[in-house]
Amino acid sequence: MTAEPVDPAAPESACPAPAASPTPEPPSTDWEQRTAAAWTRLDELDEAEFRDLIDKLVAELPADSAIGAFERACAFDSTGHSDKAVPLYQEALERGLTSIRRRRATIQLSSSLRNIGRPEEGVRLLTPELDAESDELDDAVRATLALCLANLGREREGLSLVLGALAPHLPRYQRSMANYARLLVEPDSD
C-alpha cells in the first residue's frame, strides 16, 4: 500500500496500546505544508532522493518524534521497502502517534506486514479498527483487512468486508449489497 501524503489540515493500534507519554507538540503548520509539498514530489524524484528529502524534514523534529518515525516509514513504504517501513511504523506507534496519523500507521503497517508475509499480524492489528471511532479511513481499514484475510485463505470474510464498505457508496442496491456482504459470513438461518 502506498502511503498517502500528509494533509496539513488534518489532526494527527498496530502495536499494543502505546505507553502513556506526554502529548507531543505537533509540528508547525509550515513544517506540515513543506512535508505535504515533499509528498507531491514522490513520482518525480528517484526513491533515494525522495527519502533524503523526507529525512531532512524529519531532522527538524525532536529525535524521539513519533511523527518523524511515521514519515520515514511512509517514505520507505512508498518506495517499495515494506521491510524497512515495518519497524519504523512500530516505533511511531510505540512513541505515541495519535489521531489520524495513528490510524494511518496502523493501516499502513498492516499492509506492509502482509507484503512481507505476515498477514496474520495485519489481521490482529486491523480487527480492532473495525470498532474504532468512524473517520475517512474506515474503508481503507476494511480494504487492507480484506487483503490480509485473502492472504490467509479467508477470501469470503475479505469479500464481505469490501462489499460492506462499498454498499453505502452505491447509487442503488445499497440494502441488497449490505445483505449479501453479511450473508457471506453469516449464512441465512432460514
Task: Write the CATH number for 143.
Answer: 1.25.40.10
Average pLDDT of the chain to the nearest whole number: 88
Domain residues for the domain of 48 are 44-157
| Residue 16 or 48, more confident | 48
Assigned domain for 128 exists? yes
On whether residue 129 sits in a domain, the answer given is yes
Please check whether residue 25 lies inside any domain of the structure.
no
Q: State how far the Cα of 55 lies from the Cα of 71, in Å rounded to an integer.
A: 8
pLDDT exceeds cutoff 80 at 87: yes
Nearest Cα neighbor of 66 from 2, 19, 132 is: 19
Judge whether 177 lies within some domain: no
Q: How many CB atoms lie within 10 A of CB 15?
A: 18
Number of domains in the chain: 1
pLDDT in tens, 31-74: 999 999 999 999 999 999 999 999 999 999 999 999 999 999 99
What is the average per-residue pLDDT within 7-26?
42
Per-residue model confidence (pLDDT) at position 28: 87
Res 22: pLDDT: 46
Question: For residue 129, what is its C-alpha cell?
Answer: 479498527
